[in-house]
Structure 1
Amino acid sequence: MAAKTYKSLDHVLGRFDSLDPASRASLVQRLARERRLLENIFNVLKDGVILVDADGHVEYANQTAGKMLGLRDDQLGDVVLWRFVPGLRPPIIDVSEDARDDAVQAAHAMTREIELTYPESRVLRLYMVPFFSDENGGRQQYAVILGDITNEREKTEQRIADERTSSIRLLAAGVAHELGNPLNSLTIHLQLIERRLKKLKGSAKKDADALSESIGVCQEEVKRLDGIITNFLEAVHPRPPDLCETQVSEVLADVLHFQRRELEDRGITVEVEAPGDLPLVMADRNQLKQVFFNINKNAMEAMQPGGVLRVKARADDDNVYLLFGDTGAGIKQADLAKLFQPYHTTKQGGHGLGLMIVQRIMREHGGQIGIESREGAGTVVTLQFPRKDRRVRMLK
């Protein structure tokens, strides 16, 4: 039906000069209706549609494309697409009119994936194909389709992270068994030796003291290995959260009270802005404590005596936020992308599972974790929890 309509329009336009004024006015109204119809169709599309000339100037953009790129109608013609996507500019097809169809068919359509940070962070898939417009003097133009694949990319990254975690689960039982049993045996025998040494101290005090010191070192190492195993098992065999109404400021206060002595010993000052009337969230209190403990521990180990740990809490209509800022050495940009990978650590003696566990717990609570850092300026960790009255549970 649409094809017949446009053929009839072409027929009428072909004899436009011979039409009387009333017929011309009717034709103009009809063309205006057709234009509005096409604009409405383009503007309801979820994909962005852009028309650019051979130099990359944007001549048309539907509403979706305008929102994606932050373009206003009065900017059309001034914005050059090639500036948005360096390296995108294709070669101009310079051929005779008779050979244009063959040239367009031979020209390869271009596909790119681009990441934008303005007007909001997005990942877009760009598809561009050249064509010649007879209505514009045979000028070469490009039709560009923009698809928002931000959610698709996030799901892919999360799936990769889940697959990475699943792969190490295959080794969990064997590793825990192989390390756990010898550690238990070592602990028992060290305790027996320690008891016997206490009986020998009277007759051979010097030797007994030396042996006691060695035993103390061994016991500390056993504790450290036991902690590694505990973290490993927690990472690969997580417990589902036992969700209940939770005031995050209360859980935070409990954790800071528990860590108070260590903070004082390290000479670190804590500044907290966490109102007690924050909106409730649905959370597992014990897992929340583990999240706060790990983040605070990382902050403490990143700072020298005299450092400051600042914790701020706030809320909006949808989420509750906790921000942990330290005055430590910061994190190298090259390491930021690897922070949540298993066994990646920038600390001597670290096991590289703490932030991986934190990320998993936040995901299972429907929340998110973000980290901003700059070398020499410290690090800010942001936790985002959905409010209890805004929480939506996804079943699939």
Structure 2
Amino acid sequence: MKWFKSQIFWKIYIINLAIICTLLGLMFIVSRIILPEISKEQYRQVTDKTVLRMKDQISLIAKDLQSLENYVQSNENFKSNDFNQLSRGLANIIDISPYIDSGTVLDTNGYVRAFYPNDLKHLKNYNLSKREYFQQALKTQKIYLSNVVSADTGRYLLVVSIPVVNDHKEVERIVNLSLRIENNEIFQSIFQSFKIGENGYTFIVDRNGKIISHPSKERIGKDVSQNPIVKKLLKKQSGYQEVTNTNGITMLASFEYIPILDWGVVAQIPADEIYEPYFAFQKSLWTISLVAFIVLSILTALYARQIIHPIRRLYLAVDQVAKGDYNQRIEKIDNTEIGKLSSRFNEMIQYIRQSKTNLQLKEEQLKEQKEFLRKIIDMNPSYIYAIDKEGNFTLVNESFAKLLGTETQHLLGKKIDDFQFNIESNPVSVWEEIEKMKERIVLEEEFKDQEGKTRWVETVRLPIFSPNEGTDQILFVSTDITERKQAEELLRKSEKLAVVGELAAGVAHEIRNPLTSINGFMHLLKEECETHKHYFEIMESELERINFIVNEFLMLGKPQVMNFQRKDVSVLLKDVMTLLDAQAILNNVKMISEFEPNLPLLYCDENQLKQVFINIIKNAIEAMTNGGEIKVQAKVQDSCLVIRFIDQGCGIPKDRISKLGEPFYSTKEKGTGLGLMVSYKIIEAHNGSIKIESEVGQGTTVDIIFPI
């Protein structure tokens, strides 16, 4: 045996390789999960610090603007009405503050009374009363910083409106100081000096979401209020978030709301730049891992080879024993655990040799007994099965498996709900009853088989007790009593038919003769007595009804001779529909035929079938008191010829459908029930069946099914 063919070698080798691969995999996973987060957190600290630095700068600007308010209030130039003094005051402010590029002085009506520099001379006497910053300063009598304002020249401004208040707390004029956002290099340089990586940048938005500061001057004044981060800033929120910019680049951004000026600042950096060190590390990690894997694989192979060397001799001996050579003995290998194992192995072989014969004998006996019991269970025609508390099958015989349309091995371990077994009571629901009674239960149950037919079984339920006297399983032994039930039902019907037949024959003969005499005398009296003609017509109608019932009695009492021939059912149906068409029209009923082409010929008695069709269609017409449609269909379905009658009548309650066909039971007020009973007999004589489905208020469907 070569060392590289040893399973032990490969197990040791594979286990060690698995450990190596696991460690390397963990390294990759850790680097994939932790390193991006570390990079992300590091850059978050950078963007957070940048935002805080910008916040500090904005605070300084706010203080500078506050000092401007104090300067304006204390400057005598702004209390004068002279244009030159007012302009001089504006010039002084522009010289003092690096953030102010221009200014105007407005009276309380909003008219420009002074300006500086001269490029604003077009604003002289111009009315700015509708500007928000003017209205806010006039209303609140406090300094007000505007949102980004678009000037008439197309420039974007920030306007600081400072009210000049007299000793009576009245506003005398408004001083507007403007910061020209694009042109004020000091303002822009303060915020654009914050560098974040290679491609990161910062920007500032006002309270309406318009950009105040941005590295791209084209973006200044743009409305970015729909940006997810800006939306949060407008809600006065701060935080850290991943967002996609207008160029579709994923950015990681820190943002801070600045309440002192009602601004928002954002510092963001592309996600790709953050993860760039991680990607570089991943590439180098692949190379390192590959080299480590190769080196460790070689070392593992050498180590495994050393381990299996003393096992090789033991393996050869064990292999012979495994092949059935129990006379094999192993010489002592060494004093290690493997050597001790070889000695114990020799003792084990001796014990196995002694017990093998006894074990084989017992196995044969148990196998024969098990096969015998299995044959008894499988040959039993009853349905035998057992379930545990979870409803899983633990035992089934072949009869029960065939009932469910499967095999025994497919049932074991599965639940009864997994199969179509529509029995009245679920076996799982009898647990409480079984545990209370501690004895068997016998009951009759009804269910639908795989073909949808109703079957009856007599089921014995037996609890199977566990060693702790609890019920572990339930054994069900169900005997099919369908034929017995059918025989009982057939006997009941036969007895009823026999009684009806005898009664029909006797009554028909006893009534027919006097009925003929009465009918004859009635016609004689009718001719002689014209005054009571209406009564005679009623008597004549009732005598015809009695005669009709007598004829039906005779049909029950006297077997009819049938003449079977192959006939086209569609032709028979058309003849019947033509015959009853006049009656249908009188009752406002329309008959519709739907016959499949090339229907097979039916071996039948033409007159008998026509009698059945006439009876069913007449019943349908009489049930449709408000008119409607009767569909007559003929088709081949499941190797059977199906003739279907669908009406739109009043329908039949479900509890009455099972009684249809019994003598003297009818859903009609003046019906005898004999017509449908005769129809059942005729169809049964043709080896067919009648199926009736109905819903009250919806109509009735009658299927006559003939095997082809």
Task: Compute the RMSD of aligned alpha carbons.
Answer: 3.3
Q: Is the 8 A contact 1:267 1:305 kept in 2?
A: yes
**Paired residue for 1:229?**
550
Matched, 1:183 2:515: yes
Q: Identify the structure with bigger relative contact order (alpha carbons < 8 Å, sequence gap 6+).
A: 1
**Paired residue for 1:165?**
497
**Paired residue for 2:534?**
213
**Paired residue for 2:195?**
none
Write the distance in 2 (CA, Å) between the matches of 1:273 and 1:175: 42
TM-score normalized by the length of structure 2: 0.44
Q: Is the 8 A contact 1:59 1:76 kept in 2?
A: yes
Matched, 1:111 2:437: no
Question: What is the number of residues matched between the two proteins?
Answer: 346
Give how far 1:184 is off: 0.9
Change (3 A) 1:82 1:162: closer
Give how far 1:379 is off: 0.9
Q: Is the 8 A contact 1:247 1:278 kept in 2?
A: yes
Q: Name the aligned partner's letter for residue 223 of structure 1.
A: E
Q: Is the 8 A contact 2:660 2:676 kept in 1?
A: yes
Give how far 1:168 is off: 2.0
Give how far 1:301 is off: 1.0
Q: Deviations over 1:273-306 (max 9, x none)?
A: 1235222222111111111111111111111333
Write the distance in 1 (CA, Å) between the matches of 2:486 and 2:524: 54
Q: Is the 8 A contact 2:620 2:630 kept in 1?
A: yes
Q: Is the 8 A contact 1:70 1:118 kept in 2?
A: no
Give how far 1:335 is off: 1.4
Change (3 A) 1:139 1:264: closer
Q: Give the alignment of 1:276-295 within 5 angstroms.
A: 277-295=598-616
Matched, 1:261 2:596: no
Q: Give the alignment of 1:328-347 within 5 angstroms.
A: 328-347=649-668
Give how far 1:49 is off: 1.4
Matched, 1:76 2:413: yes
Give how far 1:308 is off: 1.1
Q: Name the aligned partner's letter for residue 92 of structure 1.
A: E
Q: Give the alignment of 1:368-387 within 5 angstroms.
A: 368-387=689-708
Percent identical pairs in the alignment equals 29
Give how far 1:147 is off: 2.6
Write the distance in 2 (CA, Å) between the matches of 1:41 and 1:75: 18
Give how far 1:65 is off: 1.5
Q: Name the aligned partner's letter for residue 676 of structure 2.
A: L
Q: Is the 8 A contact 1:56 1:82 kept in 2?
A: no
Give how far 1:38 is off: 5.4
Q: Give the alignment of 1:56-205 within 5 angstroms.
A: 57-69=392-404, 73=410, 76=413, 78-79=415-416, 83-84=425-426, 88-89=430-431, 90-92=433-435, 107=439, 109-117=440-448, 119=450, 120-121=452-453, 122-132=455-465, 140-196=472-528
Change (3 A) 1:271 1:36: farther
Write the distance in 1 (CA, Å) between the matches of 2:488 and 2:569: 30
Q: Please, which moves more after superposition, 327-336 or 28-37?
A: 28-37
Write the distance in 2 (CA, Å) between the matches of 1:85 and 1:344: 38
Change (3 A) 1:158 1:347: same
Give how far 1:380 is off: 0.9
Q: Is the 8 A contact 2:391 2:415 kept in 1?
A: no
Which structure has the larger Rg over C-alpha atoms?
2
**Paired residue for 2:251?**
none
**Paired residue for 2:565?**
244
Q: Name the aligned partner's letter for residue 154 of structure 1.
A: Q
Of the three residues 309, 314, 319, the one matched with 2:630 is 309
Matched position secondary structure for 2:532: helix
Give how far 1:354 is off: 1.2
Matched position secondary structure for 2:667: coil
Change (3 A) 1:24 1:262: farther
Give how far 1:44 is off: 5.0
**Paired residue for 1:359?**
680
Change (3 A) 1:371 1:289: same
Write the distance in 1 (CA, Å) between the matches of 2:402 and 2:602: 32
Matched position secondary structure for 2:620: helix
Give how far 1:352 is off: 1.6
Matched position secondary structure for 1:114: strand
Give how far 1:160 is off: 1.3
TM-score normalized by the length of structure 1: 0.76
Unpaired runs of at least 5, structure 2: 1-350, 418-422
Give how far 1:327 is off: 0.9
Write the distance in 1 (CA, Å) between the matches of 2:540 and 2:428: 59
Write the distance in 2 (CA, Å) between the matches of 1:110 and 1:318: 42
Matched position secondary structure for 2:693: strand
**Paired residue for 1:7?**
none
Give how far 1:27 is off: 7.3
Write the distance in 2 (CA, Å) between the matches of 1:365 and 1:214: 44
Matched, 1:325 2:635: no
Matched position secondary structure for 1:373: strand
Q: Please, which moves more after superposition, 307-316 or 50-59?
A: 50-59
Q: Deviations over 1:32-89 (max 9, x none)?
A: 7875675566445433211234676532222332343578836735448995259755
Q: Deviations over 1:331-381 (max 9, x none)?
A: 112211211211011211111211111111111111111111111111111
Write the distance in 1 (CA, Å) between the matches of 2:594 and 2:687: 24
Q: Name the aligned partner's letter for residue 462 of structure 2.
A: V
Change (3 A) 1:82 1:117: closer
Give how far 1:216 is off: 1.6
Matched position secondary structure for 1:92: helix
Q: Is the 8 A contact 2:389 2:428 kept in 1?
A: no
Write the distance in 2 (CA, Å) between the matches of 1:183 and 1:260: 32
Matched position secondary structure for 1:327: coil
Q: Name the aligned partner's letter for residue 694 of structure 2.
A: S
Unpaired runs of at least 5, structure 1: 1-17, 95-102, 198-207, 388-396
Change (3 A) 1:214 1:138: closer
Change (3 A) 1:254 1:115: same
Matched position secondary structure for 2:459: strand
Change (3 A) 1:340 1:38: same
Give how far 1:264 is off: 1.0
